[in-house]
């Protein structure tokens, strides 16, 4: 097996620090922060996760009850196919128009149901959800531009403490790069790979995936 434990621990520590920051901002602006149980707005979005988050999701997902996994696998397969079609269409439109901003805006408006969203409107991996899900609903800064959930009470133009999304992404990519390097994978591009949640739960991140020989395989030879 590929040992990614140290990197998963580092990722979990990052999640804990982000949760603490989110709680602090929410306590300062309780009326503006309107996330509540039953709201699934952030569960219907088109976004990808980096390698370390994909591995974390896959590992946590593998520990769920078999009945839940079977349901999620079926939904994830359908959703993953749908996302692939969307991305191909976005690429064709980008080639045709060259307007990257318009494509990103169009992608942000897509309503793609997360396969981890249960029939009871609850996430089956809530405690292990990606950072994108954790910070949704709070004031964010992306490439110098402020934004927030349309259902929140945060007002455009007013000053709020913000979560810098690009900085978080850089941290995640750094962990992913060091993980791939430590494993010794010949596929260095995996470090900058982003995939949908649907693909993450459908993938087994083992020695075969990383293209390395596991000690178990060597013993069997």
Instruction: For residue 88, count CB atoms less than 10 angstroms from its CB and return exposed for 0-12, middle for 13-18, buried for 19 or more.
Output: exposed
% of the chain residues with pLDDT over 90: 77
* 215 pLDDT tier (thresholds 50, 70, 90): low
pTM beyond cutoff 0.85: yes
Alpha-carbon distances of 56 from 42, 59, 102, 106, rounded to whole Å: 19, 5, 32, 29
* Residue among 11, 56, 7 nearest 205 (CA): 56
CA 168-98-196 angle, to 5 degrees, is 40
The domain limits of the chain are 5-77+113-208
Q: Which residue has the higher pLDDT, 146 or 116?
A: 116
pLDDT at residue 150 is higher than 70: yes
- 57-72 residue pLDDT tens: 999 999 999 999 999 9
Look at residue 103 in the predicted model and tell me its pLDDT: 85
């Amino acid at each position: 097996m590929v040992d990614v434990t140290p990197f998963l621990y580092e990722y979990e520590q990052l999640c804990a620090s982000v949760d603490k920051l989110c709680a602090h901002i929410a306590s300062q602006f309780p009326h503006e922060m309107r996330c509540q149980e039953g709201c699934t707005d952030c569960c219907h979005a088109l976004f990808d996760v980096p390698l370390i988050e994909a591995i974390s999701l896959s590992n946590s997902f593998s520990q769920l009850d078999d009945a839940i996994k079977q349901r999620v696998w079926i939904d994830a397969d359908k959703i993953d196919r749908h996302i692939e079609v969307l991305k191909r269409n976005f690429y064709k439109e980008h080639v045709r128009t060259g307007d990257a901003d318009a494509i990103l805006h169009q992608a942000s408006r897509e309503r793609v149901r997360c396969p981890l969203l249960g029939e009871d409107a609850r996430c089956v991996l809530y405690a292990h959800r990606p950072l994108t899900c954790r910070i949704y609903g709070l004031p964010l800064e992306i490439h110098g531009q402020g934004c927030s959930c349309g259902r929140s009470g945060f007002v455009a133009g007013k000053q709020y403490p913000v979560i810098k999304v690009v900085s978080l992404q850089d941290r995640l990519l750094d962990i992913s790069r060091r993980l791939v390097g430590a494993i010794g994978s010949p596929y260095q591009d995996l470090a900058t790979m982003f995939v949908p949640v649907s693909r993450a739960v459908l993938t087994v991140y083992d020695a075969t995936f990383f293209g390395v020989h596991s000690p178990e395989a060597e013993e069997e030879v």
